[in-house]
Amino acid sequence: MTEPEATPPTAGTATDESPVLRTEGLERRFGGLLAVSGVDLALPPGRTLGVIGPNGAGKSTLVNLISGHLKPTAGTVHVGGKDLTGARPWRVAHAGVARTFQIVKPFRGLTVADNVAVAAMFGPSPVRTPAHARREAAQVLERVGLGGRGDVPPAELSVADARRLELAKALALRPRVLLLDEVLAGLRPAEIDPALRLIDELRRDGLAVLIIEHIIQAIAAISDEVLVLHHGTVLTQGPPRQVLSDERVVEAYLGHRYTRKNRS
Ligand X SMILES: Nc1ncnc2c1ncn2[C@@H]1O[C@H](COP(=O)(O)OP(=O)(O)OP(=O)(O)O)[C@@H](O)[C@H]1O
Comparing CA positions, the residue from 48, 59, 52 lying closest to residue 223 is 48
Of 41-49, 53-61, 119-127, 254-262, the segment contacting ligand X by CB under 6 A is 53-61
We find the least distance from the C-beta atom of residue 97 to ligand X, in angstroms, to be 18
Q: Is 39 helix (H, G, I), strand (E, B) or coil?
A: strand
Count of residues touching ligand X (by CB under 6 A): 11
We find the least distance from the C-beta atom of residue 33 to ligand X, in angstroms, to be 6
Output 19 or 58, the one with its CB closest to ligand X: 58
Q: How many CB atoms lie within 10 A of CB 157?
A: 18
List 39, 52, 57, 165, residue binding ligand X (CB under 6 A): 57
Of 30-38, 93-101, 121-129, 252-260, the segment contacting ligand X by CB under 6 A is 30-38
Comparing CA positions, the residue from 128, 154, 130 lying closest to residue 141 is 154
Q: Is 183 in the site for ligand X (CB under 6 A)?
A: no
Q: How many CB atoms lie within 10 A of CB 246?
A: 18
Which is it for the CA torsion 45, 96, 195, 134, positive or negative? negative
Of 4-12, 54-62, 87-95, 143-151, the segment contacting ligand X by CB under 6 A is 54-62
Q: Is 38 in the site for ligand X (CB under 6 A)?
A: no
We find the least distance from the C-beta atom of residue 145 to ligand X, in angstroms, to be 26
Output 46 or 53, the one with its CB closest to ligand X: 53
List 30, 88, 147, 201, residue binding ligand X (CB under 6 A): 30
Output 114 or 213, the one with its CB closest to ligand X: 213
**CB contact at 8 A, 167 and 144:** yes
Q: Is 175 in the site for ligand X (CB under 6 A)?
A: no
Q: Is 228 in the site for ligand X (CB under 6 A)?
A: no
List 48, 60, 223, 237, residue binding ligand X (CB under 6 A): 60
- The dihedral over CA atoms of 18, 203, 173, 193, expressed in degrees to the nearest 10, equals -150
Q: How many CB atoms lie within 10 A of CB 161?
A: 19
Q: Is 61 in the site for ligand X (CB under 6 A)?
A: yes
**CB contact at 8 A, 94 and 74:** no
The angle subtended at Cα 105 by Cα 112 and Cα 20, nearest 5°, is 100
CA distances from 229 to 40, 44, 50, 133 (A): 11, 20, 11, 38
Q: Is 115 in the site for ligand X (CB under 6 A)?
A: no
**CB contact at 8 A, 246 and 256:** no
Comparing CA positions, the residue from 215, 244, 206 lying closest to residue 227 is 244
We find the least distance from the C-beta atom of residue 219 to ligand X, in angstroms, to be 13
We find the least distance from the C-beta atom of residue 249 to ligand X, in angstroms, to be 14
By CB under 6 A, name the binding residues for ligand X: 30, 33, 35, 53, 55-61
